[in-house]
Structure 1
Amino acid sequence: MSLATRLTRLLMVVLAAGSAGAAYAIRAVMDGPIEQYSGAALSAIIVYAIVIFIWPRISPVPAGSAVIAYCWFIEFAQLTPVPAALSQRSWLARQLLGARFDLIDVAWYPAGVIPLVAAHWFLRARARSQANPTPTESWRS
């Protein structure tokens, strides 16, 4: 495993832990829409970190698209009684599946993921440009 892959995975662990910590901190000190919607965005960030941890070489747009699709799938699954029933029995299931559908969450998942996709794309492009510098014209120096 390359050093870049190890560093990427370490960064994703830090991102996921930081996002979870931020979500729980916001929940502890706030109530209302900020607490509700930041949780949706931060949970999407955690899912993005998990995807990149598992597949560090995945391109940003497919990663972001998969994360948004997954988050939407989980959100729309809440229209069925299954997530609510599981959430009543398990704290972990409640954290992973939620308990009730909220249409506004559907918009907040991309709000959490799109900045990460942009940052991931920028960092990847920057790394490529540093790895493959354009040839300089030595006769001008």
Structure 2
Amino acid sequence: MSAARTRGVAAACAVPTVATALAARAVLDGDPGKYAGDALYTVLVHALVVLVAPRVRPALAAGAALVLSCAVEVAQLTGVPAGLSARSEVFRLVLGSTFNAPDLLWYAVGAAFSWGVHRSSRRWAVATATGRSAQASGRVRPSDS
């Protein structure tokens, strides 16, 4: 898959990820909504990593998303995110305000999920491209594909 197409897919995945996270927080009360939002936060970061580096391997993108998510969580121990969150709803959504150790687990869940989706979609794209190139070269008849 081309870099431009990969970026387009990553951007297209980011929008429903944000919508789903916000809906989960609005619809699900308490911890289920919060933790779904945490996992989806890391899925979003994964999509943004792929947007910036479209040829990144799924495991590296998931690892980077996990590290960035955890870094934001640990930064909450400093109080800087809380101060920024008090000034802006966007900062509150992106940085949070209060450290919560269980969030780290849910970031790992989001990273594992996004790794699986990225890996599967990458394999599908390669298989599809390989099938097309085999068909174009005459190695596979159209009725065999």
Normalising by the smaller structure, the TM-score range is: 0.7 to 0.9
Q: What is the CA-CA distance between 1:110 and the residue it aligns to?
A: 1.4
- Give the unaligned 5+ runs of structure 2: 140-145
Partner Cα separation in structure 2 for residue 115 and residue 12 of structure 1 = 15
Alignment: residue pair count: 133
The AA in structure 1 aligned to 2:17 is: S
Give the secondary structure class of the aligned counterpart of 1:78.
helix
Query: Cα–Cα, structure 1 residues 131 and 97, in superposed 2: closer, same or farther, change >3 Å?
Result: same
Q: Which residue of 1 aligns with 2:77?
A: 79
Q: Residue deviations 1:76-124, cap 9 Å, x none?
A: 1111111101110111111111010111110001111212212222332
The AA in structure 2 aligned to 1:112 is: G
Query: Cα–Cα, structure 1 residues 126 and 17, in superposed 2: closer, same or farther, change >3 Å?
Result: closer
Query: Cα–Cα, structure 1 residues 80 and 53, in superposed 2: closer, same or farther, change >3 Å?
Result: same
The sequence identity of aligned pairs, in percent, is: 35
Q: Which residue of 1 aligns with 2:57?
A: 59
The AA in structure 1 aligned to 2:89 is: W
The AA in structure 2 aligned to 1:109 is: Y
Partner Cα separation in structure 2 for residue 102 and residue 43 of structure 1 = 15
What is the TM-score of this pair, normalised by structure 2? 0.82
Partner Cα separation in structure 1 for residue 100 and residue 7 of structure 2 = 32
What is the TM-score of this pair, normalised by structure 1? 0.84
- Give the unaligned 5+ runs of structure 1: 137-141
CA RMSD of aligned residues (A): 1.9
Q: What is the CA-CA distance between 1:125 and the residue it aligns to?
A: 3.2
Q: Which residue of 2 aligns with 1:105?
A: 103
Give the secondary structure class of the aligned counterpart of 2:15.
helix
Partner Cα separation in structure 2 for residue 103 and residue 22 of structure 1 = 23
Give the secondary structure class of the aligned counterpart of 1:100.
coil
Give the secondary structure class of the aligned counterpart of 1:101.
coil
Q: 2:35 aligns with which of 18, 34, 37?
A: 37
Give the secondary structure class of the aligned counterpart of 1:113.
helix
Matched, 1:20 2:15: no
Partner Cα separation in structure 2 for residue 16 and residue 95 of structure 1 = 15
Q: Which residue of 1 aligns with 2:87?
A: 89
Matched, 1:4 2:6: no
Q: What is the CA-CA distance between 1:23 and the residue it aligns to?
A: 1.3
Partner Cα separation in structure 2 for residue 7 and residue 93 of structure 1 = 30
Partner Cα separation in structure 2 for residue 129 and residue 15 of structure 1 = 21
Partner Cα separation in structure 1 for residue 15 and residue 73 of structure 2 = 22
Q: What is the CA-CA distance between 1:12 and the residue it aligns to?
A: 1.4
